[in-house]
Structure 1
């Protein structure tokens, strides 16, 4: 299915690369000019991969984005000999970031947990950007019951016989339910695009055990754990209809940072990167004082 942002993306050079990181090899893509004044390393969310953030990249053609697939997702294999907990993902990001020393760090959703923890633990960056940040424990949100069901779902997928567990985790019906739940737009064309993106990329995980570990990590941590130790200027781009972190919790979260600002986007939920990339990019442009 053609992306609504295809024309914009076609004007941006894209190249694939690989780099060693945390004992494994990370596949990553660069978007934009190699000689750009601004470079951003973008960390995607749970079950996603680098394609998900392309609509945001498309709005900022003069920025160089470095978009890796996280370990165990997309074209990046799991980290060898590691449980995929928060420490593993933080170690990975700190090591991977050597491909662009001094780059700005951006994290979306689960990526916001990884990015904020890495910066809090010493990853050097001039600024931090968090899109749809996970600003409260998953079990405390309005979808707490759904989170408990998801915990059982990923546990069952990891512990059932391999054929059944893999079928369950890659079920197109369940992926579609997740997609419908998160999408808030009433634009039928945009909804079809979102569902197609999830159908195409949401099941590109390496194996059941790694996926379970990553999910447990995503619901066991949030950005609040790291906020007070992040001293660099930070931008939070949050959705007013986010079911995972209510906007009231995002307003509390921003006050936990020594230096942060919050931009709220109306009429969107946890899919800012698909539904409202233009205002998200505008917030990033203003935060970074880009032309």
Structure 2
């Protein structure tokens, strides 16, 4: 499907200053119950009260290297974990669902990073964000009951780039999907036995992710070769703002793609089940405390499936706004730095000087 890779890796693509060692990514592993391991990356001051949690998309991993200027100006503690079965994180336990595994992993991570947390006195302000497939776990953690993820009380905003709806709630989700996406993760993916469709796709894609040059070739063929002239202008402007060299963004995405399946394809093979899983709540039924959190929906006008699904999210989240950007699946990446600045300015006050 068109969500093959993470459209907003660019959330972490600005060149840091040479003196800012705090924003060199620290990539670590956390032992979990049952012999599983959670792989995660974080950068920025670990004692910061302003936290951004990033949920990556398909064929990507948690990456907090080179965060944007808005994060560094605000002193954000930037956290991104590999989702279950992707990168260095162990596959889900047998019989477990994606939502319960993800929330359990995330709770263990936050208990590790913030062991002294007390909901009554904590001054943490957490922003949760995700790109493409990653908007599903981002929404899961934002809407989760607080007994399952106590740190959720500190979540103030949710940013969804190239967003997807909860299929178990959006009964008309199939109408939003392109034909290719409908076959890949829609009803056929749930009906055919032995996860047949996903295994066929794996066989087709696996040789194209054997190394970084092969992955970059696939990436360019899927996205960059089809950019409109206007989107290319936005991409070039973003590179200039961020200090990224030509080809750097594509190479880093390709590196993440290879790393995401180097140890296991379990995450990919579980994609359809994850998208169709019951999140444990419905957006329309969220209580007042959950519903008041700010929701920013970012979508490219040419990103057919995600653009259609964004309508459902904007209509159902009570405190939402939409940012539409000319372009395709990656269009939001070239504006995420500005969107973060605007969101912080709205919810944290006037932006500090550089």
Q: TM-score if structure 1 supplies the norm length? A: 0.76
Residues 37-93 of structure 1: CA deviation (Å, up to 9, x unaligned):
312222222221123x65654431011111212222223232444556333223333
- The equivalent position to 2:222 in structure 1, one of 164, 178, 181, is 178
Kindly tell me: are residues 44 and 4 of structure 1, through their superposed partners in 2, closer, same or farther at Cα, counting changes over 3 Å? closer
Q: Secondary structure at the match of 2:343?
A: helix
Q: Which residue of 2 aligns with 1:167?
A: 207
Alignment RMSD: 3.8
Q: Which residue of 2 aligns with 1:37?
A: 49
Give, in whole Å, the separation in 2 of the partners of 1:85 and 1:182: 33
What's the CA shift for 1:236? 1.5
Give, in whole Å, the separation in 2 of the partners of 1:83 and 1:19: 19
**Does the CA contact (< 8 Å) of 1:107 and 1:115 recur in 2?**
yes
- The equivalent position to 1:59 in structure 2, one of 70, 78, 88, is 70
Q: Secondary structure at the match of 1:74?
A: coil
Q: Secondary structure at the match of 1:71?
A: coil
Q: Secondary structure at the match of 1:244?
A: helix
Kindly tell me: are residues 146 and 283 of structure 1, through their superposed partners in 2, closer, same or farther at Cα, counting changes over 3 Å? farther
Q: Which residue of 1 aligns with 2:304?
A: 243
**Does the CA contact (< 8 Å) of 1:125 and 1:232 recur in 2?**
no
- The equivalent position to 2:255 in structure 1, one of 200, 220, 224, is 200
List runs of 5+ in structure 2 lacking aligned partners: 1-11, 118-123, 168-172, 190-194, 240-245
Does residue 1:135 correspond to 2:144, yes or no?
Answer: no
Query: 264-273 or 183-192: which moved more?
Result: 183-192
What's the CA shift for 1:216? 0.8
Structure having the higher Rg:
2
**Does the CA contact (< 8 Å) of 1:41 and 1:103 recur in 2?**
no
Kindly tell me: are residues 79 and 135 of structure 1, through their superposed partners in 2, closer, same or farther at Cα, counting changes over 3 Å? closer
Does residue 1:158 correspond to 2:214, yes or no?
Answer: no
What's the CA shift for 1:222? 9.7
Alignment of 1:261-276 (within 5 A): 261-271=320-330, 274-276=333-335
Query: 128-137 or 34-43: which moved more?
Result: 128-137
Q: Which residue of 2 aligns with 1:146?
A: 180
Q: Which residue of 1 aligns with 2:140?
A: 117
List runs of 5+ in structure 1 lacking aligned partners: none
Residues 190-239 of structure 1: CA deviation (Å, up to 9, x unaligned):
583443233221232232343110x214543699x642323341222312
Give, in whole Å, the separation in 2 of the partners of 1:157 and 1:255: 31
Give, in whole Å, the separation in 1 of the partners of 2:317 and 2:68: 26
Q: Secondary structure at the match of 2:291?
A: coil
Give, in whole Å, the separation in 2 of the partners of 1:212 and 1:182: 27
Q: Secondary structure at the match of 2:305?
A: coil
Q: Which residue of 2 aligns with 1:6?
A: 15
What's the CA shift for 1:268? 4.3
What's the CA shift for 1:139? 3.5
What's the CA shift for 1:287? 3.9
Give, in whole Å, the separation in 2 of the partners of 1:22 and 1:114: 21
